[in-house]
């Protein structure tokens, strides 16, 4: 998911609309904005893309100088309008709106406790728990209650919460998801990625620290911590696939890291070939890196229909398979009679790669060597990236790389090593704990509360 918020700007909802539009790659199922004029909320949510959900008319109704917004990609809770965020609740004398990117690992435990205490839940999302905790806090006022409950939730959360007058920005203690702050005029902006700050011409201020909260109201800004400054486990998949290439996360350019992943991949798994072809769009930087390192020319052998969303985001398997077909087409001039290195950023279920190798062969490619710019995904993600069960993961259904290669119909298949991934995404190799690599390694940075 993606979150975006603005405090103290006369066009808060409009800016949020543009910000969400720049974060569209983080979720395409639903979008929503809640705005406040200091007295009351006005909100609008819907299923689909940002441009489908909002019109000039609906935006004009979202008056006020503060707003938060959300684009959703469901990993917990169903794909339904009532789960579309920001969620809005009655609170104290007014309302409470919550926009959450991430996934709470102790959601079931906390939900059970709250239900026993009499809470009635409106949605199937883990996010609603946050609102109930705030409402049930022994602290009467939002500015005390909201920071106070952050210790009760565990997992990943980049959070924007607001009342009619106040906004809270918070990031989980591990910093699993990115969350950046910017400024535009006198306004403060919070966004999942810096590409959304650029979209509204805000200047980057700083990243939110893991375990930090910020509370903004008419009196100014307060900051504090609900967890000590120590553990950092930013999701390395943000660098591999999820984030937009023009974003900067923790001071590192996503594009540069993707190119490095491709360069290291070329060193680890060289192959004799005529062309390097990327699976657009997310793999293009890694393919360029592979081409630069290997000296094999980069060519555009696959074209993506820009009007089809990320295939992975479709919630059912049937839709997913059809989407791959609709999404990509081949350029025969580049592929016929050629030995091709096909670079992709990840294999999760394996359906995408299999289908693309077939497409390349139909277009006349002689040999297809698949190179993946991340290690094998062997473990599910519990922190908000949609992955199937352990058994459904491609890497767990096959023993060896060459068997996997056969399964997708490739002449060869190779993955980046975990060391290679860490070399590119880590600030400091000696201290690998500053990135989450759990889906590759199985070492989760939090408790999982599985039973």
- Which segments are annotated as binding site for Mg(2+)? 282, 344-345
Structure tokens at 33: 């904005």
Q: Taking CB under 6 A as the criterion, which residues in 312-371 touch ligand SF4? A: none
Smaller CB separation from ligand 5GP, 348 or 425? 348
Min CB(312)–Mg ion separation in Å: 8
CA distances to 52, 94, 302, 323 from 319, in Å: 20, 41, 21, 6
Min CB(92)–ligand SF4 separation in Å: 34
351 binds Mg ion (CB under 5 A): no
Residues facing 152 on adjacent strands = none
Select from 282, 294, 434, 446 the one that contacts ligand 5GP (CB under 6 A).
282
* Cα 312 versus chain centre, distance: 12
394 binds ligand SF4 (CB under 6 A): no
Residues in the chain: 451
237 binds ligand SF4 (CB under 6 A): yes
Smaller CB separation from ligand 5GP, 131 or 240? 240
Binding mask 155-194 for ligand SF4 (x = CB under 6 A): ---------------------x------------------
# chain residues binding ligand 5GP, by CB under 6 A: 18
Q: Taking CB under 6 A as the criterion, which residues in 330-389 touch ligand 5GP? A: 344-353, 385-386
Smaller CB separation from ligand SF4, 162 or 421? 421
236 binds ligand SF4 (CB under 6 A): yes
Q: Which stretch binds Mg ion (CB under 5 A): 273-281, 287-295, 407-415, 430-438?
A: 273-281
Do 207 and 33 meet the contact criterion of CB atoms below 8 Å apart? no
To 10 degrees, what angle do helices 128-136 and 107-116 make? 40
Structure tokens at 387: 């992955």
195 an active-site residue? Answer: no
Smaller CB separation from Mg ion, 4 or 241? 241
Select from 263, 282, 353, 379 the one that contacts Mg ion (CB under 5 A).
282
Instruction: List the catalytic residue out of 1, 191, 208, 214.
Output: 1
Select from 142, 226, 312, 415 the one that contacts ligand 5GP (CB under 6 A).
312
Binding mask 185-224 for ligand 5GP (x = CB under 6 A): ----------------------------------------
Smaller CB separation from ligand 5GP, 247 or 351? 351
- The single residue listed with the structure tokens 């406040």 is 36
- Would you please indicate which residues are annotated as catalytic (active-site) residues? 1
State the residues that interact with ligand SF4 by CB under 6 A. 176, 235-237, 381, 383, 385, 436-439
């Amino acid at each position: 998911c993606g979150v975006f918020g603005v405090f103290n700007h006369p066009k808060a909802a409009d800016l949020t609309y543009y910000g969400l539009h720049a974060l569209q790659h983080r979720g395409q199922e639903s979008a929503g904005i809640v705005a406040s004029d200091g007295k009351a909320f006005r909100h609008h949510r819907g299923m689909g893309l940002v441009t489908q959900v909002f019109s000039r008319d609906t935006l004009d109704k979202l008056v006020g100088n503060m707003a938060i917004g959300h684009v959703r990609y469901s990993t917990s809770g169903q794909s339904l309008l009532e789960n579309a965020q920001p969620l809005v609740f009655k609170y104290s004398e007014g309302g409470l709106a919550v926009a959450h990117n991430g996934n709470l690992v102790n959601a079931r435990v906390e939900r059970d406790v709250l239900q026993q205490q009499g809470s009635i839940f409106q949605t199937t999302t883990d996010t609603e728990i946050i609102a109930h905790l705030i409402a049930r806090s022994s602290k009467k006022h939002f500015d005390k209650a909201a920071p106070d409950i952050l210790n009760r939730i565990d997992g990943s959360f980049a959070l924007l919460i607001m009342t009619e007058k106040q906004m809270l920005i918070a990031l989980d203690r591990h910093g699993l998801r990115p969350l950046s702050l910017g400024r535009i005029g006198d306004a403060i902006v919070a966004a999942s990625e810096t590409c959304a700050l650029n979209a509204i011409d805000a200047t980057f201020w700083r990243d939110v620290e893991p375990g930090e909260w910020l509370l903004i109201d008419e009196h100014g800004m307060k900051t504090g911590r609900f967890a000590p400054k120590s553990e950092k486990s930013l999701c390395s998949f943000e660098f591999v696939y999820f984030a937009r290439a023009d974003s900067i996360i923790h001071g590192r350019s996503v594009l540069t890291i993707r190119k490095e992943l491709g360069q290291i991949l070329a060193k680890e798994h060289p192959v004799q070939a005529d062309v390097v072809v990327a699976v657009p769009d997310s793999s293009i930087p890694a393919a360029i890196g592979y081409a630069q390192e290997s000296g094999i020319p980069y060519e555009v052998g696959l074209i993506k229909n820009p009007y089809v969303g990320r295939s992975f985001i479709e919630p059912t398997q049937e839709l997913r398979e059809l989407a791959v077909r609709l999404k990509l087409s081949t350029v025969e001039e580049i592929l016929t009679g050629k030995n091709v290195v096909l670079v992709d950023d990840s294999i999760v279920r394996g359906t995408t790669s299999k289908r693309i190798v077939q497409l390349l062969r139909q277009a006349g490619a002689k040999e297809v060597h698949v190179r993946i710019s991340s290690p094998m995904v062997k473990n599910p993600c519990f922190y908000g990236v949609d992955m199937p069960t352990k058994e459904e993961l491609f890497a767990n259904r096959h023993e060896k790389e060459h068997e996997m290669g056969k399964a997708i119909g490739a002449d060869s298949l190779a993955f980046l090593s975990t060391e290679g991934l860490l070399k590119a995404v880590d600030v400091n190799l000696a201290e690998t704990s500053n990135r989450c690599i759990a889906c590759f390694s199985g070492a989760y940075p939090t408790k999982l509360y599985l039973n």
